[in-house]
Each structure stands twice: as C-alpha cells, then as structure tokens.
Structure 1
Amino acid sequence: MKKLALAIAVCLGSAALTLPATAAEKTSDHNIAIAIDNKVVTEHKATINGEKLTYTATTGTQPVWDEEGKAIATLHYTYYEKNKVSDKSQRPLVISFNGGPGSASVWMHIAYTGPKVLKIDDEGYPVQPYGLTENQHSILDVADIVYVNPVNTGYSRVLPGDDGKLPSKDKQKALFFGVNADIKYLASWLNTFINRNNRALSPKFLIGESYGTTRVSGLAHELQNEQWMYLNGVILVSPTDIGIERDGPVDAANRLPYFAATAWYHKALEADLQQQDLLPLLKEVEDFTLNSYLPALAKGGFLSLQEKQRIAKQVAKYSGLSETYVLQNNLDIPTASFWKELLRDRGYTVGRLDSRYLGIDGRDAGDKPDYWPELTSWLHSFTPAINYYLREELNYITDVKYNMFGNVHPWDRTNNRTGKDLRLAMAQNPYLKVMIQSGYYDGATNYFDAKYTLWQLDPSGKMQDRLSFKGYRSGHMMYLRRPDLAEANQDIREFIDSALPKGKSAKY
C-alpha cells in the first residue's frame, strides 16, 4: 500500500509552541511527552463492501481546554475520511468510543468498524503472527469515522500546569474521571474537532461500547444542549445500565437468558433443549423469565416451598446447573458462580465478557474463576497490533506508551442520569434514533439486560419506532466472530441509512 505521510506542526494558543514533525515532544534530555496538538496524514486504498475506494487516515492529538482557554489535557484520535467526496454535508460521520472506563478506543477501531481488522480466526481467537488485514466489512463505504481516546487512554494524557506539575488526583478526578466530567470535556473537545474538520453540516452518529454506552448516551444530550450539535443516531454496543435501575429481582432474573445461551453453546442442556436452535430457545427462556421467574423472585422468602421447587427445577433446566445448586442460592445465581459452576465437572471455567472461551483454574473448587480467559486472549492480539499499526502504517511515531487500559480510578459514578438524558435528547430531536447491539454470550453486560434497558428508555412508548435491538451469536465484542463482523456492520449501515432525514423536517 502506497503511503504518503505528512506531519503537521501546530502553534498552540498565545504560547506559540511549535511542535516537531513527530508524535513525541522532548521536554528534557530524559523525559518525553506526547505532542499537545499535532497530526500525521496518510493515504490508503481498500475494497470495502465490494467497493474500491481510497481514504485518508489522520492520527494525532488535539487539546482539551479549560474555561480560561488553557490546555489541560490532550486527546489522541484517528480519523478516517473517504476520498473524492464532493459534499461533506451529505456524508455521515461516526464518532466512536470504547469504555472501561479507562479503555482505549482500540477494540472497535481495529476489530469492528475501521478499515483494518485483526488477524484472528473465524471465531475471534488470536493467531500468530499477530497483525492486521483489510476489513472488507468496515462502514467506511457509507460514513467517515473518528476514534477518540479519552484522557489517560491510548496516547491521551493530562498535561502539567504552569508550575510543571500535574494536577492533584482530586483535581484530575473533578476534571476528567467521572460520569459527568467525562461527558462535559468530551463534548467540548468534539465541538472543536467537528469545526476544525468542517463537519458541522454532516449527519452525525455516536457509537459506544460497554461503558462507552454510558458516555455516548450522556454526550447525545450534552452535545445538543451545551454545544448545540444535533445528532442523527446513537449506537449502544453491549450497553451498561446507562443509569436505568434494575436492582433486586430484576437484576437476578435478567441473567437467566444469558445462562441459557451459554449452557446451550457448551452443550450443557438437556437433550430436548439442546436440539433447538438458539433463538427459539431464548424466546422460551425470556417468556419464563418475565412471566414466572421474576414474580417468584419478587416474593423472596415468602414464596411457597412448592412454588420455589417448581421454579428451581425450571431454572436448573434452562441454566444447565443442578436443581440443588439453584436452591442453595435461593433461586438467585451470581454470575461469577455460574462461570465457575457450569463446567466444573469438566474442569473448565467460562469467560465473563465472552462465555464461549474456556479457562483452567488452579483448583476446581471455589466460587469464582481465577482469571478471565477471553480478556487474556484479546490482549494477546490487540496490543501488538495497535502498536504496530499506528507506528508502521499510520506513521505516528512516539515512545509514549499506548495505554490499552489507563489509570482513571477512582471513577465518580454519582448522579448517572445518562439514560434519562438520552430519552430527553430523543424527545428534543425527532431525527435521533437509537440502536442496541448485544452478544448472546456476554456475561458482563448481558443481552437481556440490554433489552430491559431498551424497554425502559422511553416509558411512554411514544418513541418506540426509533428504538431497535440486534443480537449476535458471540460475546461482548460480538464483531470478533467473522459472521457477526459482517452482520453487525451491515446493521450499522442500515441504521445510518434509516436515520438520514432524506428531506423530512425535524418535527412531530
């Protein structure tokens, strides 16, 4: 692939700081820091969704400013634009975040929507030698994409003050590390990015994965109400609760469909269930969960013994666990216990983020696994791939460490009303649509919780036609499985197309 690299030095504010043509800025003979405001541009070719195209990749940093206009942090991003687009006002822009909080925007970047994808097997397991190949399913044929790394993730960093020292931990937390602080500074940063890159008129979409769904749900409202930037769509991949409560019996009951999916995958169910396809089985389990299991759990210790035994028998049948084990847990099986118990007799645990993965513990006894086999597997392939890709293919050279997971804790989770804010943003903006994407084998943010969140997002039911759910036969990062990579990207294409107004006025 022919690459044309262009390093651009930028002057930052009144300080007139000229940056060298490299991503790393020396601050002394022994210290390095990421450049505060720079970018490197490369040109590429690809075949995506059957279309041959050329595109520009821009990777660099852009400051976060405080209210006095001082740079307090710098965020690293990678921005892909399809070339030969005559009218950017007609070209959608997708703004992508991962979660954690504290995770870099690496997972969806090089395994889902971007123009390059990990070299992995068809089910998503790492294969050496690690690296990247062309992603023929990328959404770059229909939309430009920017991947943003929040503070302390990827190459993004907090900046020292005038005294040369970093702000205190408490100050950093107040500025960056909390539900609402995160949303506030990112909205301001995005406003700068949009205007710098002449995308004010473009249809805009947010996509977030895991905690990133909390982030983009809040951003939808913040962008509209504080930056006056209106969106066309929000995509929630493996969503958190986004501040919508589902404690107690709801939390316990909602796990069962995920348990059933995992047990089915590992052939741990009785023959009559195992011979069914996954989707009709899940429909059956969902009906039982809503109509029998949840009401039984709501009765707590006052559930009759006969009814408790009847429910336990059915929960055991659907979960692949023993009836005795279900009763020992008073019908409420913790997810960590399920990961340890399901295949205990085979000597394996199952993964948290993707329960197709198997782990081996030091001993078969115990009530939770020693480690998460799926995360270990993913870090095998993602870490070398992103470091190689940014340096060797996008020409972004720095000795600063790329943080797959950065130090953002303790994270302030108080006053999380992101779900309510997303509903309000939808009410204010008749164009705004929301789609949820979930993997059936995700035990961290299970798919039935995601459905519940969708149902509760707009209790009035008046915006039901703008809410949709898509499920996939994989886990938290469902796009790692090759068939789901194709299907999930196609679902995004269709969602983008459905959310474009096509001359329709923004009114009820």
Structure 2
Amino acid sequence: MTSAAKIASTPFRLIATVLAAALLAGATRAEERAPHSGLEGREYVARMTGVFNGVRVDYEARLEETLITNDDDAPAARFYSTAYLAQSGPDRRVRPVIFIWNGGPSVAAVPLHMTGFGPKRLAPRRLGADAPVRLIDNERTLLDVADLVFVDPAETGFSRILPGGSRDYFYSAQGDAESVAQFIRKWLDAHDRSHSPVFVMGSSYGSIRAAIVAGAMAEAGAPLDGVILLSQGVNLVETTQRRHNLVGYASNLSQLAAVGWFHGLTARPDTTVHDVVDEAYAFAMSDYLVAIAKGRAIPKAEREAIARRLEALTGLAAGEYLTRDLLVNKTDFRRNLLKEKGLVLAANDARDAYREDAPPSGEGSERIEMKALKTHLTSLFGATFPLDAYRFQAPETASWDYGGSSTLDGKPVAPGAVRSVFSDFDWTGELEKAFAANPSFRVFIATGVYDLLTTTGPARMLASNVHFPGDRVESAEYEGGHDFYADEAVFPRLAEDLRSFVNAESAAR
C-alpha cells in the first residue's frame, strides 16, 4: 500500500555543463518545433510511503526539469524525468540509482514506468483502450534496493528541443545518447549522488542508447556500475535477417522453435520452452549454420534432412523451408505458421495471432498507458498536467541517424554525415569501453522467448562476446514477448533477478 504525505510545487534549479552538440541546422524554424510543454519553471514533489519486496520505504516522488546545453553552454533542450527516491534507510547519498528509458526511437518512458517498474503499475496488462484504468501497488519493484529515475529523451514526454539545439543532433544515435549521458551527470550533481552506484536500463532501441550512454560515461570519467538491457538490440546489425546474413537466420531460429512449441505444433509436450530454445540454438549454431553456408553446394539428401529437422523444431512444414532454400525469416514464419487457420502471428508477442485483414494497430496499448500516466500523476501530485502536450513518441523520427563509423578505424562521424560502405555500427564496442573503465562494471541481458522482434539467439551471442569478461555478464530468458516486463506472470522473477544483480554490483563496489 502506498500513501501520500505532502505535495509541493517549486521553481526549478537549472544546472548547466558542457556537451558537444551540433549547431542548429536546416530550414526548421525554432518556433515551429513548439519547445514549450507547459511545465517550464516548475517541479512537483510528493512524499509517499510504500512496501516493496516486504520492506517499508518512505520515498519522494519528483517530476522535474533538467536543462541540456550545447557546446557553447547555451540551452539546447529541456529534459523531464520522474524520480522515486527513498528517504528512509542508510545514507541516501550512496544508494544505487537506476536511470530507466524505453526505446523507439524514440518514445517516452511510459511503458516501463506504468507497466513495469514504477511504484504504481497498470493491471491487468491486456485491457481494451476504452476500459477504465486500474492501478495497483507495484510491490515487486526495486525501490527497496535502488532509487528509480524514468527519463523522457528529447521530444518525448514533456521534453523539448530548444532553439539552441539541433534536431539532427538529438535525432541521432550518438547525439541522443550523449544528451542522456549529460542528463545523468547533471541529475547526479543536482541530487548529491556522485557516490551512488549508477545503473541504466533500456528496452528495445533503448538498449542501444544504454550501450552508447555507457561508453559516453566511461569517456567522461564517470563510468557506470551496470547496464540492464531488456529486449536488446545492441548487436542488431549482426543478427538482422538481411537476405545474405546467414548468421541472422541461425541466431533467430531458437525463437521460431519456442513459438512453434507454444502453439503445439512440435509434438513435444514433455519439454519446457527453455529446453526447446536450448536444443534449437545448439542445432542452429552448428549443423544448420554449416548447412546454409554451403548454399547450392549442399547435397540434396542433407538439404532435405535439415528441412525435416527444422520442421520438427519449429512446426513449420519442411516444404516451406525447401521452397526458401532453408532460409525462413521471422516475417515469413509469422505469416505461414498458422496460415491454414487464416492467422498471422504478432511480432511483439507471437503467442498472439490475428487475421491478416485485421492487424492490431498498437494504439490501444499506447492509449491506456497514457491514461494510466495521467491518473497516476494527478493522484500523486494533486495537480492537473497538460497531458495533451505529453508525447508518447517523438515526431518525425523516420530520418533517425543510427550512426556508424566512416572508415574501418571505428571512429564515429558527425550526425547526418555520409557513411562509408564500410560503416561499422559497433554498439558492442561502447560496452567494451565501460568494461575497461570500471573493473566492477556488469551487464544484465533479459529477453522474452516469444518476441519475434528482438530474440534470444542474438542475446546469447552478445552475452558470449569474446571481448566481454564472461564473469561480468548475466543473461536471462523469460516466458513473454517484447514487453515481457509487463506480463504479470513474468515480472516477479524479473524483479528478483534484477534485485540480485543490483545488490551484487553494489556490494562489489
């Protein structure tokens, strides 16, 4: 149970430090970018009490603004965050802090806030968009071991780019992450938390942001203590199923096996989904990868044997594999596994299926999460917020610059610059910087086994990266989809795993 004790609204303290940023460019006029969200110059504070993991915690909830500056120390963006900070227990100045954001690019932290780790949680998860919002106390969240800061990057939530900022910069993988790293440094300074263990948590594209933030913090001399990657995409380039990327087909096969098993198409009722994933991954990275690497040179008998094995593992007919030269991508799999029933599997959670002529829009989930946020903030702070100005997703992100090096030397180029054909999207290299900068830095990788967007195979490849110290990487797989943290059956185990991760890292500090 959570109760409110005091509500206050006061002017902000705006704190500035230097961040390398591009100058305002292009024909977009500053006033057309609507840099105002209606909260300028205000902060909201509430004192609360809750019980988390059986521990009573007095905590402070804060919705506040942080000013992001450009290389001339001029205002470039206003960032808004919602933080939950313990007021009871040992010295709060050394308590762990977890900075949390979602993906996109680029969306606000609403999903992880309202269906994941906030002190109030939307329940049940699967409600229609027009259903009334019901919030429950999130007794499993991590407030007993760490303070939580939910971050809305530029142009999401109430956060806005200012006339001194460049959209090209903030709409780039490098600039986006550098601005978030600057936010973290300023937040820690403003709250006297320079001695706290610092973690970041990112979901989906937010995992890429988390990796680059880790590298940026290491280069700034303020290395992180840990990174939590949910539905990770850090090694996305290596594992994307481009037509000729054979590793991408092999690394994703175990996910197809999990989905086929769930839908009862593999006739293996006595096994668990985790057993199925293990078996399929072992086959994929050995016999299957060797077979598809042979191309047209593969003998007919071997080709047909591999197709039969694929059918046994995934439930998709051997003929489908033979028609596609043993290379069935995730989209083909979604469209064909339940084709005889006239159904297509959902990409973000393949336990669900829909008629091809009636695909889900995703708007229902977004609308109810926004309704939950409005209910929560209004109840928490006793104020009316201009939520019509709150953006679930940043506008016009189709031109997002994912970065990449200009040459083989691995050096990033400026946002918007032309890339070489040899561009290397070395986001795993950013984590290497963090490992090198802090001998106790650790990574936790979490994946849903029914997610056909970000999958278990690539996560396993990342965890076993030869450039990472193996004893400082943890990996876990959960029976859920892309947003597995929102699954009521999954969250207790996830929360306990993360609680152990944070406690172990903090103890080693």
- For the criterion TM > 0.5, the same-fold answer is yes
Q: Which residue of structure 1 aligns with residue 372 of structure 2?
A: 385
Q: Which residue of structure 2 aligns with residue 125 of structure 1?
A: 126
Conserved in 2, the CA contact under 8 Å of 1:131 and 1:381? no
Secondary structure of residue in 2 paired with 1:200:
coil
Shift of 1:40: 0.3
Q: Which residue of structure 2 aligns with residue 290 of structure 1?
A: 285
> Which of the numbers 225, 230, 235 marks the counterpart of 1:237?
230
Q: Which residue of structure 1 aligns with residue 144 of structure 2?
A: 141
Secondary structure of residue in 1 paired with 2:67:
strand
Change (3 A) 1:11 1:204: closer
Q: Does 1:100 align with 2:89?
A: no
Conserved in 2, the CA contact under 8 Å of 1:243 and 1:419? no
Conserved in 2, the CA contact under 8 Å of 1:89 and 1:203? no
Change (3 A) 1:13 1:377: closer
Conserved in 2, the CA contact under 8 Å of 1:176 and 1:182? yes
Conserved in 1, the CA contact under 8 Å of 2:338 and 2:344? yes
**Structure 1 residues 246-325: aligned runs within 5 Å:** 246=239, 248-269=245-266, 271=267, 273-325=268-320
Cα distance in 2 for partners of 1:381, 1:399 equals: 13
Q: Which residue of structure 1 aligns with residue 385 of structure 2?
A: 397
Cα distance in 2 for partners of 1:352, 1:11 equals: 43
Q: Does 1:351 align with 2:346?
A: yes
Cα distance in 2 for partners of 1:89, 1:72 equals: 29
> Which of the numbers 317, 320, 337 marks the counterpart of 1:342?
337
Q: Which residue of structure 1 aligns with residue 7 of structure 2?
A: 5
Task: Map Cα deviations across residues 305-357 of structure 1 (whole Å, 9 max, x no partner).
Answer: 21111111111221211111111111111211211211121222211111122
Shift of 1:11: 6.4
Change (3 A) 1:399 1:446: closer
Shift of 1:137: 0.5
Conserved in 1, the CA contact under 8 Å of 2:37 and 2:390? no
Task: Map Cα deviations across residues 215-257 of structure 1 (whole Å, 9 max, x no partner).
Answer: 111111211212x212211111110034662361110112211
Change (3 A) 1:274 1:372: farther
- RMSD value, Cα: 2.2
Shift of 1:428: 2.4
Conserved in 2, the CA contact under 8 Å of 1:49 and 1:137? yes
Conserved in 2, the CA contact under 8 Å of 1:243 and 1:417? no
Secondary structure of residue in 2 paired with 1:311:
helix
Shift of 1:377: 5.0
Q: Which residue of structure 2 aligns with residue 185 of structure 1?
A: 179
Conserved in 2, the CA contact under 8 Å of 1:34 and 1:400? no
Change (3 A) 1:73 1:88: same
Cα distance in 2 for partners of 1:11, 1:447 equals: 43
Change (3 A) 1:438 1:396: farther
Structure 1 gap ranges (5+): 15-26, 162-166, 363-369
Change (3 A) 1:31 1:331: closer
Q: Which amino acid aligns with 2:438?
A: N
Cα distance in 2 for partners of 1:45, 1:295 equals: 57
Cα distance in 2 for partners of 1:3, 1:339 equals: 50
Task: Map Cα deviations across residues 393-448 of structure 1 (whole Å, 9 max, x no partner).
Answer: 23362254221121233111121322112112102211101110111001100111
**Structure 1 residues 479-498: aligned runs within 5 Å:** 479-498=485-504
Q: Which residue of structure 2 aligns with residue 213 of structure 1?
A: 207
Cα distance in 2 for partners of 1:306, 1:11 equals: 72
Conserved in 2, the CA contact under 8 Å of 1:125 and 1:377? no
Superposition TM-score, scaled by structure 1 size: 0.86
Conserved in 2, the CA contact under 8 Å of 1:59 and 1:396? no
Secondary structure of residue in 2 paired with 1:397:
coil
Q: Which amino acid aligns with 2:401?
A: D
Cα distance in 1 for partners of 2:310, 2:14 equals: 61
Cα distance in 2 for partners of 1:13, 1:84 equals: 27
Q: Which residue of structure 2 aligns with residue 113 of structure 1?
A: 117
Conserved in 2, the CA contact under 8 Å of 1:349 and 1:358? yes
Conserved in 1, the CA contact under 8 Å of 2:218 and 2:433? no
Change (3 A) 1:115 1:445: same
Secondary structure of residue in 2 paired with 1:34:
coil
Secondary structure of residue in 1 paired with 2:248:
helix
Secondary structure of residue in 1 paired with 2:68:
strand
Q: Which residue of structure 1 aligns with residue 70 of structure 2?
A: 66
Secondary structure of residue in 1 paired with 2:447:
strand
Count of aligned positions: 463
Conserved in 2, the CA contact under 8 Å of 1:217 and 1:242? no
Cα distance in 2 for partners of 1:326, 1:380 equals: 39
Shift of 1:382: 1.2
Q: Does 1:203 align with 2:197?
A: yes
Change (3 A) 1:334 1:253: same
Q: Which residue of structure 2 aligns with residue 19 of structure 1?
A: none
Q: Which residue of structure 2 aligns with residue 434 of structure 1?
A: 443
Conserved in 2, the CA contact under 8 Å of 1:99 and 1:209? yes
Structure 2 gap ranges (5+): 17-30, 405-424
Q: Which amino acid aligns with 1:110?
A: M
Cα distance in 2 for partners of 1:422, 1:372 equals: 35
Q: Which residue of structure 2 aligns with residue 160 of structure 1?
A: 163
Task: Map Cα deviations across residues 474-496 of structure 1 (whole Å, 9 max, x no partner).
Answer: 11111222121100010000001
Shift of 1:296: 1.0
Change (3 A) 1:69 1:391: farther
Cα distance in 1 for partners of 2:123, 2:39 equals: 30
Identity among equivalent pairs (%): 25
> Structure 1 stretches (4+) deviating beyond 4 angstroms?
11-14
Change (3 A) 1:244 1:321: closer
Change (3 A) 1:310 1:419: same
Conserved in 1, the CA contact under 8 Å of 2:53 and 2:144? yes
Task: Map Cα deviations across residues 15-48 of structure 1 (whole Å, 9 max, x no partner).
Answer: xxxxxxxxxxxx9xx9963334431001222221
Cα distance in 2 for partners of 1:326, 1:38 equals: 59
Shift of 1:86: 4.2
Conserved in 2, the CA contact under 8 Å of 1:76 and 1:156? yes
Secondary structure of residue in 2 paired with 1:126:
coil
Secondary structure of residue in 2 paired with 1:4:
strand
Cα distance in 1 for partners of 2:76, 2:160 equals: 9
